[in-house]
Amino acid sequence: EPEVTQTPSHQVTQMGQEVILRCVPISNHLYFYWYRQILGQKVEFLVSFYNNEISEKSEIFDDQFSVERPDGSNFTLKIRSTKLEDSAMYFCASSQRDWGDRELFFGEGSRLTVL
């Protein structure tokens, strides 16, 4: 069964450092997303990406965050200067469409710990 893969599974970084989280969405999917889940809290939407541009973003997704699809398979989330409050599990997701019976496939997540 096709799946969304994420790397790294866990990253520890110092405050102020740049972090890049990587995702390989399912190959025939067109819509890509990042969500995050702070420990013990709700899953929160960060950003959606379609046709090589951001289609929607949340208030959390400020200038410190950026996304990129550098080639035909990878989808990345960059945090320019990490803060303690960026510690969370980050989930990449993809879907074939944004309407109808839209099944959103999530990856296993990348746990980011900022010290």
Footprint of another protein (CB under 8 A): 4, 31, 33, 35, 41-45, 48, 55-56, 58, 91, 93, 98-99, 101-109
- In this structure, which amino acid lies at residue 81? S
Min separation Cβ 16 and another protein, Å: 27
Cβ proximity to another protein, 13 vs 58, nearer residue: 58
Min separation Cβ 113 and another protein, Å: 14
Q: Residue 22 is encoded by which pair of tokens?
A: 């990587």
Cβ proximity to another protein, 14 vs 41, nearer residue: 41
Q: How many residues does the chain have?
A: 115
Min separation Cβ 63 and another protein, Å: 19
Rounded to whole angstroms, the Cα distance separating 100 from 115 reads 42
Cβ proximity to another protein, 16 vs 97, nearer residue: 97
Rounded to whole angstroms, the Cα distance separating 113 from 105 reads 24
Q: Residue 1 is encoded by which pair of tokens?
A: 């069964």
Min separation Cβ 36 and another protein, Å: 11
Pairing of β 10-13 and β 110-114: parallel
- The residue among 18, 56, 38, 32 whose CA lies nearest residue 104 is 32
Cβ proximity to another protein, 71 vs 99, nearer residue: 99
